[in-house]
C-alpha cells in the first residue's frame, strides 16, 4: 500500500506500484525520492510513516515524520517551523550516538515539514510490557544501568528530551540495545530564559509539552531542567514494574505525588531511589543521570553496611552495643564517601586525586588519556558480570582479554591501545573516539560494532566478524583486515585502501576483495 500525504486527499491509500494518487492526482513520490507506506502513529501536529528511499540501491526503509500545522496562520506556521528546526538540529547533533536515530534528510513542501530518520526495527517498552508482563526488580535495575549513560550523553549536549516514556524507548531487534526516539519535544537552548514562551504571544504556550503523567510540574509549566527527564524516567520505571501508566495509578491528594508504592513489589533501597527520581520539587530530585547511578550503588552499599553492623553486634556484648554503634555511625560518613570515590573510579570519572596511568604512551597519547582510570582484566570482567556496560574514558592499555565476553559494552574515548581481545565477543560494542592503535581483535565477533572516529591504526582485525560495523571517520591506516567479514559495514573505499586486505576479505557488498 502506498500512502498519499496530501492533507486534503479524500482517500490516501493506493495500491502498490501506483505513482500518481488515484483520488487526488498527487505525485506519490515525496520530494521525488520517498514512497510512503503504512502509518506508524498520528498526533495533533502530524503523523509518522514508514517509507522507502527509492534513490538508494536496495530501497532502504526509513521513517518520515510529517509535521503539519493545525492551520495556516502566521503564528502557527512560525511554531511549526520552530519545532521542525529544533528537532532537526537536535537529531543532527545527537545522531552520531548509536542509541539515537540518525537524521537522514529534512525538507519543507507547501507549508508541510518532513523529517527523514533512520528506521529502528524493534519493539518499544510499552508493547514489551503488554506482551510479556511487568519487569522484575532486576530487570528495572538493568534497564537503568543501560539507559542512564545515554541520558548523561544527551544532557552533556545541553539537550532535554521532554517526552521520556515507555513508547519512546525501543529495544532494537538486531542487538537488543535501547534506543531513544521522538525528539519532537526537545529543548536544546537550555541556558536561555524562556520569556517568549511565557509571554502568551507564542502559540507554544497553548500546548502542554510532554505526556501527562510522565512529565513533572515544572515541565508542564514550560520550565524544564535536566531533572525533568529524570522524573519522566522514574515514571517509566513505575510503568515497567506495575504495568500501569501514571494516569491509571493516581496521585496523593495531599502532596500531589504519584501514588505508586502500593502497585510495585521491590526492595526498600530501590523504592528510595525511585522516590527521589519522582520528587515533585526539582531541588529534591536527582539532578543528573550519574547521580541516579550513584544512588543505586549507594543504596545497595547502605543495606549491606546495615546488615554487617547487625552481624557484628552479638547479644553477649549488649553493654558495649551503644558505644559500638555510636562508633560505627561516626565512621559511616567516611565509608559512604569512600564508596562514592570507588564508584566514580570504576566509572572513569574524576575524583580528588587521580593517578597517571599513561606510562608507555607517546606524548599525544598521554595527553589523550590524561585523567583516565585504569582497570585490570579481572576488574573489568567482574564489573561486566555485575551488570556494568559503560566503560567510557577507562584506561585498558595492554590488557589480556582474549575470548572475553563484553557484548554491547560502551568504550567511548577509552584507551585500548595494544589490548588483546582476540576471539572476544564484542557484538554491538561502542568504541567511538577510542584509542585502538595496535589492538588485537583477530577472530573477534564485532557485528554491529560502532567505531566512529576511533583510531584503529595498525589494529589486528584478521578474520573478525565486522558485519554491519560502522567505521565512520575511523582511522584505519595499516589496520589488517585480511579474511575479515565486512558485509554491510559502513566503510569507505579510502579507508579500505589504507588498510590491509586479501583475497579472503569480504567487502561490504558481500563479494571477495580483489587481491
Q: Does the pLDDT value for residue 338 go beyond 50?
A: yes
Annotated catalytic residue 163: yes
Window from 203-207, 208-212, 305-309, 319-323 with minimum mean pLDDT = 203-207
**What span, in angstroms and rounded, lies between the C-alpha atoms of 465 and 285?**
44
Tell which wins on pLDDT, 188 or 132: 132
Residue-range domains of the chain with CATH: 2-118 (3.30.200.20), 128-291 (1.10.510.10), 375-515 (2.160.20.80)
Instruction: Give percent of the chain above pLDDT 90.
Output: 46
| Residue 389 confidence (pLDDT) | 84
> Which 3 state secondary structure label does DSSP give 298?
helix
Asked if 203 contacts 75 with a C-beta cutoff of 8 angstroms, the reply is: yes
Q: What is the DSSP string of 158-186?
A: T-B-----GGGEEEETTT--EEE---TT-
| Residue 341 confidence (pLDDT) | 54
Q: Does the pLDDT value for residue 12 go beyond 80?
A: yes
Tell which wins on pLDDT, 92 or 362: 92
As a whole number, mean pLDDT of residues 274-296 equals 93
Q: Does the pLDDT value for residue 191 go beyond 70?
A: no
Query: Which position among 53, 163, 390, 460 bears the catalytic label?
Result: 163
Q: Does the pLDDT value for residue 207 go beyond 80?
A: no
**What span, in angstroms and rounded, lies between the C-alpha atoms of 216 and 209?**
10
| Residue 185 confidence (pLDDT) | 67
Residue 329, exposed/middle/buried by CB under 10 A (0-12, 13-18, 19+)?
A: exposed
C-alpha cell at 361: 604512551
| Residue 380 confidence (pLDDT) | 93
| Residue 44 confidence (pLDDT) | 57
Q: Label residue 199 by pLDDT band (50, 70, 90).
A: very low
Q: Does the pLDDT value for residue 205 go beyond 90?
A: no
Q: Which helix (H) or strand (E) holds 330?
A: helix 318-346
* Residue 305: other Cβ atoms inside 10 A: 17
Tell which wins on pLDDT, 7 or 423: 423
As a whole number, mean pLDDT of residues 411-425 equals 94
As a whole number, mean pLDDT of residues 249-274 equals 90
| Residue 515 confidence (pLDDT) | 54
| Residue 208 confidence (pLDDT) | 46
Q: Does the pLDDT value for residue 211 go beyond 70?
A: yes
As a whole number, mean pLDDT of residues 302-326 equals 45
Q: What is the mean pLDDT of the chain?
A: 81
C-alpha cell at 422: 582476540
Q: Does the pLDDT value for residue 87 go beyond 90?
A: no
Asked if 218 contacts 230 with a C-beta cutoff of 8 angstroms, the reply is: no
Cα(first)–Cα(last) distance of the chain, in Å?
45
| Residue 260 confidence (pLDDT) | 95
Dihedral of CA atoms 310, 316, 322, 323 in degrees, nearest 10, equals -100
* Residue 446: other Cβ atoms inside 10 A: 26
As a whole number, mean pLDDT of residues 424-453 equals 92
| Residue 360 confidence (pLDDT) | 43
Length of the chain: 515
As a whole number, mean pLDDT of residues 54-63 equals 91
| Residue 511 confidence (pLDDT) | 87
The DSSP output letter for 245 is -
Q: Does the pLDDT value for residue 289 go beyond 60?
A: yes
As a whole number, mean pLDDT of residues 228-248 equals 95
Q: Label residue 187 by pLDDT band (50, 70, 90).
A: low
As a whole number, mean pLDDT of residues 391-402 equals 92
Q: Does the pLDDT value for residue 67 go beyond 50?
A: yes
Q: Does the pLDDT value for residue 214 go beyond 90?
A: yes
C-alpha cell at 502: 586479501
Q: Does the pLDDT value for residue 336 go beyond 90?
A: no
**340-393 tens-digit pLDDT:** 555 554 444 444 433 333 344 444 443 344 445 789 999 999 888 887 888 888
Question: Half-sphere exposure of residue 374, counting CA atoms within 13 Å on the CB side?
Answer: 13
As a whole number, mean pLDDT of residues 428-440 equals 92
* Residue 249: other Cβ atoms inside 10 A: 19
**What span, in angstroms and rounded, lies between the C-alpha atoms of 261 and 258?**
9
| Residue 432 confidence (pLDDT) | 86
Residue 502, exposed/middle/buried by CB under 10 A (0-12, 13-18, 19+)?
A: middle
Amino acid at each position: 500500500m502506498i500512502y498519499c500525504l496530501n492533507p486534503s486527499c479524500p482517500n490516501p491509500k493506493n495500491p502498490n506500484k501506483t505513482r500518481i494518487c488515484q483520488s487526488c492526482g498527487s505525485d506519490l513520490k515525496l520530494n521525488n525520492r520517498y514512497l510512503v507506506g503504512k502509518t506508524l502513529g498520528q498526533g495533533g501536529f502530524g503523523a509518522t510513516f514508514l517509507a522507502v528511499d527509492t534513490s538508494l540501491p536496495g530501497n532502504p526503509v526509513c521513517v518520515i515524520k510529517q509535521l503539519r500545522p493545525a492551520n495556516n496562520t502566521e503564528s502557527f506556521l512560525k511554531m511549526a517551523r520552530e519545532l521542525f528546526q529544533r528537532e532537526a538540529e537536535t537529531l543532527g547533533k545527537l545522531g552520531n550516538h548509536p542509541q539515537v536515530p540518525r537524521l537522514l534528510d529534512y525538507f519543507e513542501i507547501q507549508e508541510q515539514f518532513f523529517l527523514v530518520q533512520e528506521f529502528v526495527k524493534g519493539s518499544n517498552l510499552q508493547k514489551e510490557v503488554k506482551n510479556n508482563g511487568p519487569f522484575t526488580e532486576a530487570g528495572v535495575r538493568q534497564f537503568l544501568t543501560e539507559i542512564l549513560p545515554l541520558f548523561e550523553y544527551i544532557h552533556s549536549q545541553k539537550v532535554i528530551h521532554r517526552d521520556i516514556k515507555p513508547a519512546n524507548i525501543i529495544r532494537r531487534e538486531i542487538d537488543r540495545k535501547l534506543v531513544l526516539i521522538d525528539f519532537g519535544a526537545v529543548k536544546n537552548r537550555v541556558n536561555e530564559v524562556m520569556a517568549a514562551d511565557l509571554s502568551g504571544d507564542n502559540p507554544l504556550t497553548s500546548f502542554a509539552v510532554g505526556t501527562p503523567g510522565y512529565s513533572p510540574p515544572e515541565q508542564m509549566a514550560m520550565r524544564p531542567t535536566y531533572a525533568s527527564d529524570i522524573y519522566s524516567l522514574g515514571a517509566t520505571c513505575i510503568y515497567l514494574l506495575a504495568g500501569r501508566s501514571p494516569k491509571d495509578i493516581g496521585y496523593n491528594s495531599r502532596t500531589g505525588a504519584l501514588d505508586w508504592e502500593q502497585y510495585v513489589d521491590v526492595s526498600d533501597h530501590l523504592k528510595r531511589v525511585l522516590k527521589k527520581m519522582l520528587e515533585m520539587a526539582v531541588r529534591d530530585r536527582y539532578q543528573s543521570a550519574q547521580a541516579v547511578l550513584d544512588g543505586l550503588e549507594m543504596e545497595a552499599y547502605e543495606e549491606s553496611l546495615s546488615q554487617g553492623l547487625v552481624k557484628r553486634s552479638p547479644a553477649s556484648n549488649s553493654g558495649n552495643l551503644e558505644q559500638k554503634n555510636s562508633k560505627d555511625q561516626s565512621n559511616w560518613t567516611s565509608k559512604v564517601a569512600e564508596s562514592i570515590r570507588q564508584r566514580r573510579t570504576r566509572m572513569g570519572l574524576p575524583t580528588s586525586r587521580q593517578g597517571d596511568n599513561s606510562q608507555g604512551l607517546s606524548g599525544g597519547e598521554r595527553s589523550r588519556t590524561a585523567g583516565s582510570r585504569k582497570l585490570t582484566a579481572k576488574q573489568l570482567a567482574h564489573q561486566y558480570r555485575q551488570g556494568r556496560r559503560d566503560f567510557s574514558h577507562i584506561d585498558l592499555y595492554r590488557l589480556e582479554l582474549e575470548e572475553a565476553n563484553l557484548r554491547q559494552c560502551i568504550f567511548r574515548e577509552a584507551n585500548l591501545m595494544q589490548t588483546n581481545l582476540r576471539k572476544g565477543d564484542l557484538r554491538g560494542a561502542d568504541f567511538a573516539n577510542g584509542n585502538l592503535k595496535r589492538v588485537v581483535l583477530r577472530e573477534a565477533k564485532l557485528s554491529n560494532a560502532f567505531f566512529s572516529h576511533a583510531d584503529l591504526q595498525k589494529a589486528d582485525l584478521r578474520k573478525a566478524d565486522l558485519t554491519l560495523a560502522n567505521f565512520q571517520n575511523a582511522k584505519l591506516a595499516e589496520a589488517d583486515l585480511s579474511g575479515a567479514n565486512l558485509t554491510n559495514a559502513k566503510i569507505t573505499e579510502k579507508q579500505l585502501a589504507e588498510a590491509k586486505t586479501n583475497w579472503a576479505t569480504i567487502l561490504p557488498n558481500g563479494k571477495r576483495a580483489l587481491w
